[in-house]
Amino acid sequence: MSNEIIELIGTESPNGHIRVRLDLELPHEQAMQILQTVHDYKDHQLKEEAAKHRRDEAERRKAEAEARKAAKAEAEKAKKSGAGKSSNATATKAD
């Protein structure tokens, strides 16, 4: 009796998932091919996660830069508004 479990999850489309759990002795070459497939898949997942992390980090830095720029513009606007009010107040007192 075999303990082989082969389960198809999803559809048979290219992006479907297959879960395989085998207790099977294979010739070295075939076992290495399977191992290489598993390693390739894991490497691909790591690269996708790293790319997502880089995109998220870039978006965060961009949002921070925009917030700093908006705060600086607001400060400049307040400074100009405050300077304009001081000039008007001084001119009014001089009259």
**Mean pLDDT score across all residues of the chain:** 80
pLDDT-flagged residues of the chain (< 50) = 1
Three-class SS of residue 20? strand
Report CA 68 to chain centroid distance, whole Å. Answer: 22
Q: What is the pLDDT of residues 43-59, one digit of tens each?
A: 999 999 999 999 999 99
| Backbone dihedral angles phi then psi of residue 9, each to the nearest 5 degrees | -110, 130
